[in-house]
Amino acid sequence: MSKKSWYTKKNPLNRAKNKTTSMSVTPTKFWQNTSGKFLNLSRDISFFDPTMKIVFTLSILVVLASLLWKTLFTNVSSEASTIFALNNGAIFFFSWLLAREVDPDRPLGAYVSAALAVGTALIWGIGDIAVIFWLMMLMRLLNRSAGLGAGLFDNLIILTATYFVAYKGYWLYAALTAIAYALETQLPKGSPRSFYAAGFAFWIATLSQGVPLGDSSIPADIFSFMILATILFLPIVRMSTVLKSIGDYDKVILNTYRVQAAQIFFLAAAFILTWFYGEKVLNSLLPVWSIACGTGLYLLSTVFTRKKS
């Protein structure tokens, strides 16, 4: 018996280590999907999954409740009420998806975040679904919650979403996409070929004619909400030093540095866009601040629950 096989046989921890190593997935190249999946960054979504049934049901209830509220308590047309209700339901669903990426270890916090996003939409105005989707894809790129790196079609979707949110002149969205790609190359198992995608993102930034900077004066109530969300969110970054969540594909525990980098990018992007564009993007980013606040509130509630028990 060889020395290596004896060492592995006599030490169970080494067998577990070898098993984990064998399950790891080599990062995909920019133009390849070596996993056989069409989209590497796609998460498992099934209509038969109990969690997804709950989320879809809640989204439908949000649509019906928003439609009822608009019809009974406002003097808007039925068409406008229907559009508002459908947008609110979509805000709930996509906010739940993004919140899962923000705090993968506490999935129940996603429900709190989605409900808070609907609440802010009713109070201050509807958010932008395209911005939520754009940020969600960048979070998956950085934290690799799907268990794989971005493939060709994932990058095409990210760059298309970037163009969609930046083409009206908001070039900072494209610049942040480029920064996310550059950051991805420096994280564990990062692909150097993401620099190509970063170059395309900078090219998109040059295509969009810059809009004038927004009014730096932010309403006091929204500014207070942003500060509260930041204070509540920062402990989540600290708590992510120890993770339990695993990737959908490789079944390996998520990398701490990747998850924390994604969380910091999430908060920094919200601050940068708000700082430079001000009131022009406040409504678009309301779901983002709601997610930061909702995930933080749920973490705080778990701390108090543990103390009482």
Give the pLDDT of residue 71.
85
pLDDT at residue 86, as a whole number = 95
Is 178 inside a domain boundary? Answer: yes
Domain assignment present for residue 85? The answer is yes
Q: Would residue 275 count as lying in a domain?
A: yes
Q: What is the DSSP letter of 141?
A: H
Question: Considering the domain boundaries, does residue 32 fall inside one?
Answer: no
Split into its structural domains, the chain has a count of 1
Give CA–CA dist 268/272, Å, rounded.
6
Range of the domain at 273: 50-308
Which helix (H) or strand (E) element contains residue 22? helix 12-23
The amino acid present at 89, given as its one-letter code, is: G
Task: Decide if 110 contacts 51 (C-beta within 8 A).
Answer: no
- The per-residue pLDDT for range 225-255, each reduced to its tens digit, is 999 999 999 999 999 999 999 988 888 999 9
Q: What is the reported pLDDT for 303?
A: 86
In a domain, 22, yes or no: no
Burial group, residue 204, by CB count within 10 angstroms (0-12, 13-18, 19+): buried
pLDDT in tens, the chain (309 residues): 444 444 344 444 344 334 333 344 444 444 445 555 678 888 877 777 888 899 999 999 999 999 998 888 888 888 888 999 999 999 999 999 999 999 999 999 999 999 999 999 988 988 899 999 999 999 999 999 988 888 889 999 999 999 999 987 789 999 999 999 999 999 999 988 899 999 999 999 888 766 666 556 788 999 999 999 999 999 999 999 999 999 888 889 999 999 999 999 999 999 999 988 888 888 899 999 999 999 999 999 998 887 666
Cα–Cα distance for residue pair 112/191, rounded to 1 Å: 34
The answer to whether residue 208 is domain-embedded is yes
Question: Does residue 212 belong to any structural domain of this protein?
Answer: yes
Q: How far apart are CA 49 and CA 56, in angstroms?
A: 11
What per-residue confidence (pLDDT) applies to 35? 52
CA dist., res. 236 & res. 260, Å (int): 9
